[in-house]
Amino acid sequence: MSVQSPLDLFVHELGDIYDAEQRIAQMLPKLAQECEDSQVKAALEHHLQETKQQIQNLEECFGALGVPPGRQACTTIQGLKQEHDTFLQGETPSADLLQLFDLSGAAKTEAYEIVSYQGLIQQADALEQQTCVQLLQANLMQEQAMLARVQQLSHQFNQKSRAATDTGVTLPPDMQADRTADQAQPQV
């Protein structure tokens, strides 16, 4: 697709987030399967349903523009998936560490999606595409809520691992190394 106008750029960027959401919908079941914690698993499964709705919202946005849905390869999400796959190839983390790693990856993903939707909303507003603005805002609100949930879960898991160390519970060696590194950091 040749990008020659603001509308072309908007359609291009819409294709990028459309591809991102498609890839995320494929990754979420695997991430949920990796998680042993029921809260994390439930959050990921719930977000899968939201992601499917977000894909439909994007398809409606394409429709409002009179353009068939098209995907532009989202290299950011490809890179985050590769980071996950590479981590699992080179490491054998405990279940808790894998969950923390997955939550970190989810936070990165949500941050990317939030910024993407914010930019798309600005572009749609400038193009006076109010149907798209509303659909994209709905997606943005879900992504913001998911980021807050992921951050809350990450905080809980970090507290749990710190409490386990502080109470004398023996942590797996990989978590002990993380705790030692945390203690070596100067307090600000």
Domain of residue 117, CATH code:
1.20.1260.10
Q: What is the pTM of this model?
A: 0.83
pLDDT given for residue 93 in this prediction? 83
Cβ burial, residue 46 (10 Å; 0-12/13-18/19+): middle
Within-domain flag for 179: no
Q: Is 79 left (phi over 0), alpha (psi -120 to 50) or beta?
A: alpha
pLDDT given for residue 188 in this prediction? 44
- Over residues 156-182, the pLDDT tens digits come to 988 877 776 665 555 555 555 555 555
Within-domain flag for 117: yes
pLDDT given for residue 146 in this prediction? 97
- What's the CA angle centered on 53, arms 44 and 37, to 5 degrees? 10
Within-domain flag for 29: yes
Task: Give the mean pLDDT per block of 10 residues along the chain (188 residues).
Answer: 90 98 96 91 95 98 96 96 90 85 95 98 98 98 97 89 62 54 51
Within-domain flag for 175: no
pLDDT given for residue 164 in this prediction? 66
pLDDT given for residue 96 in this prediction? 83
pLDDT given for residue 166 in this prediction? 62
Within-domain flag for 103: yes
Within-domain flag for 174: no
Tell me which residue range forms the domain holding 42.
6-164
Within-domain flag for 18: yes
Within-domain flag for 133: yes
Number of domains in the chain: 1
